[in-house]
């Protein structure tokens, strides 16, 4: 009697399962939320490095340059100058501690608070452009190093077989260095896209607002098309200890072969984070109730990051099984 082999089908990774495991991991290791909570408290209650003098000079230059234009009419720059005035009042150089694509999440980096329950924070006006650049570089590197430790610990606590803390910390310098390389590469890619795109938008916008809006939509689609394969670019570094280039190749392979579920996962992550961030910002910035929002944000952001690590492991295992099956 002949027996027929029953074909086996590989199931795509499940975003819902990843969400449950990610939230469970953070609930069992709640100390992970101290990273984003500490950063938010520092930006909120710590000293503020401002650039009022430099922005004042920029406003004067814009106003004087516009006045030389024969087509200039009073009020044309009001909206732009109003935006600059808001930035001038609220900008805090400390937000450079929030780095991308690897970094500690921060709610306060997006809201730029001025007040606190302790009164007005200490304001320090940085009046030199070179000093501002120096602070930007120092804070950026510090943010990447702290962010790499945060990512490394989250990846560790979502692993079924957790490594020892001492062994995890031994990998920290290596992954931090790869993270710096990855960030520099992302900056190069962003510049390579934005530089010609901005020129194209300027030229197209001269043909009318309709053409300008169409070009902007096309540009956004192009950016999403380039960015989507890089969503898991850092994950291979922290899950497997891969180099930057190996992690990039794995990210492109995983996102391509799991497109439906990966798209759904990141849509859920984006919507959940944006909607709840608006909830965390409800208490006024000078109220101690804001701490409740910071705790909620810290837990949610860490849980969503943990979810991506859980999903990445499942997706990578799925891809490997698929490749083995195709070879067989």
CA distance 295 to 192: 38
**Sequence-separated (6 or more) residues with CB below 8 Å from residue 22:** 158, 303, 304, 305, 306, 307, 308, 309, 310, 311
| CA separation, residue 206 to residues 72, 88, 200, 201 (Å) | 17, 30, 10, 9
Residue 9 located in a structural domain: no
Residue ranges making up the domain that contains 19: 15-51+91-320
Contacts of the segment 244-250: beta carbons below 8 A, 24+ positions apart:
244/178, 244/181, 244/182, 244/185, 247/178, 247/182, 248/182, 248/185, 250/316
Share of the chain above pLDDT 70, in %: 85
CA distance 273 to 304: 8
For tokens 């001025």, the residue is 114
In the predicted model, is pLDDT for residue 228 greater than 70?
A: yes
Least confident residue range of 105-109, 133-137, 160-164, 317-321:
160-164
φ, ψ for residue 50 (rounded to 5)? -110, 165
In the predicted model, is pLDDT for residue 4 greater than 60?
A: no
Q: In terms of pTM, does the model score above 0.85?
A: yes
Residue 327: the pLDDT is 78
Share of the chain above pLDDT 90, in %: 57
What would the mean pLDDT of 99-111 be, rounded to a whole number? Answer: 93
CA distance 250 to 236: 7
Least confident residue range of 155-159, 246-250, 302-306:
155-159
Residue 225: the pLDDT is 79
Q: Residue 283's closest CA among 264, 268, 297, 273?
A: 297
In the predicted model, is pLDDT for residue 161 greater than 80?
A: no
Residue 82 located in a structural domain: no
Computed over every residue of the chain, the mean pLDDT equals: 86
Q: 279-304: per-residue pLDDT in tens? A: 999 999 889 999 999 999 999 999 99
In the predicted model, is pLDDT for residue 77 greater than 70?
A: no
Residue 310 located in a structural domain: yes
Dihedral sign from CA coordinates of 129, 134, 136, 139? negative
| CA separation, residue 247 to residues 45, 231, 238 (Å) | 37, 11, 9
Residue 216 located in a structural domain: yes
Residue 328 located in a structural domain: no
Assign residue 198 a region: left if phi > 0, alpha if psi is -120 to 50, beta otherwise? alpha
Residue 120: the pLDDT is 82
CA distance 119 to 307: 38
Check: CB of residue 316 under 8 Å from CB of residue 247: no
Residue 307 located in a structural domain: yes
In the predicted model, is pLDDT for residue 145 greater than 80?
A: yes
Cα angle 322-323-328, degrees, rounded to a multiple of 5: 95
Total tally of structural domains belonging to the chain: 1
In the predicted model, is pLDDT for residue 181 greater than 80?
A: yes
Check: CB of residue 97 under 8 Å from CB of residue 144: no
What would the mean pLDDT of 276-280 be, rounded to a whole number? Answer: 92
Residue 1: the pLDDT is 44
Residue 36 located in a structural domain: yes
CA distance 323 to 49: 52
Residue 73 located in a structural domain: no
Residue 6: the pLDDT is 47
Where do runs of H (alpha helix) occur along the chain? Answer: 15-28, 34-45, 52-67, 78-90, 108-111, 129-157, 165-170, 172-205, 209-227, 235-239, 244-257, 259-280, 290-327
Confidence of residue 233 (pLDDT cuts 50, 70, 90): very high
């Amino acid at each position: 009697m002949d027996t027929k082999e029953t074909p086996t089908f590989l199931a795509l990774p499940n975003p819902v399962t990843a969400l449950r495991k990610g939230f469970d991991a953070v609930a069992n290791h709640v100390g992970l939320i101290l990273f984003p909570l500490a950063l938010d408290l520092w930006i909120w209650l710590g000293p503020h490095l401002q650039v009022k003098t430099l922005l004042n000079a920029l406003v004067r230059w814009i106003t004087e340059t516009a006045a030389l234009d024969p087509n200039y009419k009073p009020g044309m720059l009001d909206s732009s100058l109003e935006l600059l005035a808001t930035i001038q009042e609220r900008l805090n150089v400390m937000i450079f501690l929030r780095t991308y694509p690897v970094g500690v999440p921060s709610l306060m980096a997006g809201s730029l608070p001025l007040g606190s329950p302790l009164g007005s924070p200490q304001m320090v006006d940085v009046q030199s452009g070179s000093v501002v650049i120096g602070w930007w570089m120092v804070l950026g590197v510090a943010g990447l190093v702290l962010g790499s430790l945060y990512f490394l610990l989250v990846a560790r606590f979502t692993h079924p077989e957790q490594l020892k803390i001492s062994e995890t910390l031994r990998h920290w310098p290596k992954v931090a260095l790869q993270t710096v390389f990855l960030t520099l590469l992302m900056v190069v890619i962003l510049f390579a896209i934005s530089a010609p795109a901005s020129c194209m938008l300027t030229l197209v916008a001269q043909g009318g607002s309709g053409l300008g809006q169409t070009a902007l939509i096309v540009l956004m689609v192009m950016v999403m098309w380039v960015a989507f394969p890089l969503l898991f670019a850092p994950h291979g570094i922290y899950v497997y200890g891969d180099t930057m280039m190996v992690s990039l190749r794995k990210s492109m392979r995983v996102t391509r072969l799991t497109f439906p579920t990966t798209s759904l996962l990141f849509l859920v992550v984006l919507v959940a984070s944006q909607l709840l961030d608006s909830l965390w910002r409800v208490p006024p910035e000078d109220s101690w109730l804001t701490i409740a929002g910071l705790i909620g944000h810290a837990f949610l952001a860490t849980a969503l990051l943990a979810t991506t690590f859980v999903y990445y492991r499942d997706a990578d295992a799925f891809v490997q099984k698929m490749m083995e099956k195709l070879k067989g």
